[in-house]
Structures are given as C-alpha cells and as structure tokens.
Structure 1
Amino acid sequence: MDVLVLIGRILFAALFLASAAGHLTRTKMMAGYAASKGVPAAVPATIGSGLLILVGGLSILLGIWADLGALLLVVFLVPTAVLMHGFWKESDPQTRQLEMVQFQKDLALAGAALVLLALIAHAGTDLGLTITGPVFDIN
C-alpha cells in the first residue's frame, strides 16, 4: 500500500506544482484573468495562491506533513471553485458548461485532498514512504 499511496501522491502533487509554476512565472497574465473574474487584489492573490499550492503540493509530494499540505490545497480549491468558476453567472451555454466543469473539477480535487488528509492523519507513521509523520491525528 505504501508504494500505491506514494504514486498517488506524486500524480496528485504534479498538477498543483505545475499550476504553482504558472501562478509564479506568469503572474501578470493569471492576475489579469483573476481580475476579470472579480478577484480583488488580483496580483497579490495570484502570488499568494501560487505559494499556497506550491507549499501544499511539495508537502504532499515529499511526505512532509502531507496531511497539512492536503488541507492547504482544500483552502485553495474551494474558494477558487466559487470565485473563478461561477458557472451560475454565465449566460452563454458553452461558457456556462465550461465553467461548470472547472467548478466540479475543483470541488472533486478538494474532496480528494480531504480523503488524502484523512488517510494520512489516520495511518500516521504506519503509512511509510514519508519524511515526517502527520500533523493531525484522526483515530
């Protein structure tokens, strides 16, 4: 099971690390998109969210307080779903559908991050293939 969880952690973290790179290297472009969605202070928000998902992704990838890293990703994903992918605001059917897919994707990833948090916090050091144990203890 340790190897399967490690592979899952790598695959899961890869998405967030790539996204963090985009937030931190294409900040102006991404902040422009965020501003068009009504996000206040779009540049600091883009940098802050990029750092949040970078820390969360690295935490999960490396197994350093990976449960906390998963929680950080939930903190990013749920507001992002609501602020950036408000499909209910769209009148064009195609745009509405695209935003709904993105909204659902973010919520599904948040759900997966919560499952990962629970798994790591419950298994503790028995999970193996991590650098540290969990921050949280769910038994």
Structure 2
Amino acid sequence: MDVAFLIGRLLFAFLFLGSGFAHLTKTADMAAYAGARGVPSPKLATQASGALIIVGALMVLLGVWGDLGSLLLLVFLLPTAVLMHAFWKETEPMAKQTEMVQFNKDLALAGATLAFFWVFAQDPGLTITTSLF
C-alpha cells in the first residue's frame, strides 16, 4: 500500500506543480484572466497562488508534512472554484458548461486534498516526516 500511496501522490502533485510553475512563468497571461474574473490584485494573487500550490504540491509529493501540504492545496482550490469558475454568472450555455466542469473539478480535487490530509495523519509510510497535525 505504501507504493500505491506514493504513486498516487506523484500523479496528484504533478498536476499542481505544472499549474504552479505556469502561474510563475506566465504571470501576465494568468493575471489578465484572473483580473477579468474580478480577482483583486491579480498579478500578486497569481504569483502568491503559484508559490502556494508549488509548496503544497512538493510537501505532498515528498511527504514532508504532507498533511499541511494538503491543506495548502485546499486553501488554493476552494477560492479558485468560487472566484474563477463561477458558472452561475455565465449566460452563454457553452461557457456556463465549461465553468461548471472546472468548478466541479476544483471541488473534486479539494475532496482529494482532504483524503490526503486524512491518510497522512495515519502515518502511511514512504514519507520524509510524520504528520504535523
């Protein structure tokens, strides 16, 4: 089971690592999108969220206080779902459907972060540190 959990962490973390690095390397484009969605201080928010998800993903991936890393990713996902994918504000059917899919994806990933939080608290093995909480 230790190896399965490690593989799951790898697959899960790579999604966030890619997104986090995009936040930091394509800040102008991503900030423009965030600004269009009404996010305050979009450039700073883009950079801060990029750093947050990179740190959280690395913590989950490496098993260094993976429970805290899971919570950091949760802190990113919930506001992102509401602020960036507010499907209820869309009037065009295709845009509404696209945003609903992205909203639901963020909620599903938020659920996965809570599952990772719980598993890390159980001392799952193949981690560098034990859980923080």
TM-score, structure 2 normalization: 0.99
For 1:132, the equivalent position in structure 2 comes to 129
Q: Do residues 87 (structure 1) and 84 (structure 2) align?
A: no
Superposed, 1:45-64 pairs within 5 Å as: 45-64=45-64
For 1:6, the equivalent position in structure 2 comes to 6
Task: Find the aligned partners of 1:116 and 1:59 in 2 and give their Cα distance.
Answer: 11
Task: Find the aligned partners of 2:90 and 2:57 in 1 and give their Cα distance.
Answer: 31
> Number of residues paired by the alignment?
133
Match of 1:75, SS?
helix
Task: Find the aligned partners of 1:17 and 1:71 in 2 and give their Cα distance.
Answer: 15
Match of 1:34, SS?
helix
For 2:98, the equivalent position in structure 1 comes to 98
Q: CA deviation at 1:107?
A: 0.4
For 1:38, the equivalent position in structure 2 comes to 38
Task: Find the aligned partners of 1:49 and 1:41 in 2 and give their Cα distance.
Answer: 12
Task: Find the aligned partners of 2:106 and 2:48 in 1 and give their Cα distance.
Answer: 18
- The Cα RMSD (Å) is 0.5
Which deviations, in whole Å up to 9, do the C-alpha atoms of 1:66-92 show, x marking residues without a partner?
110000000000000000000000000
Match of 1:133, SS?
coil
Task: Find the aligned partners of 1:39 and 1:71 in 2 and give their Cα distance.
Answer: 21
Q: Percent identity?
A: 61
Match of 1:59, SS?
helix
Which deviations, in whole Å up to 9, do the C-alpha atoms of 1:44-84 show, x marking residues without a partner?
00000000000000001111001100000000000000000
Q: CA deviation at 1:128?
A: 1.1
Which deviations, in whole Å up to 9, do the C-alpha atoms of 1:72-121 show, x marking residues without a partner?
00000000000000000000000000000000000000000001101111
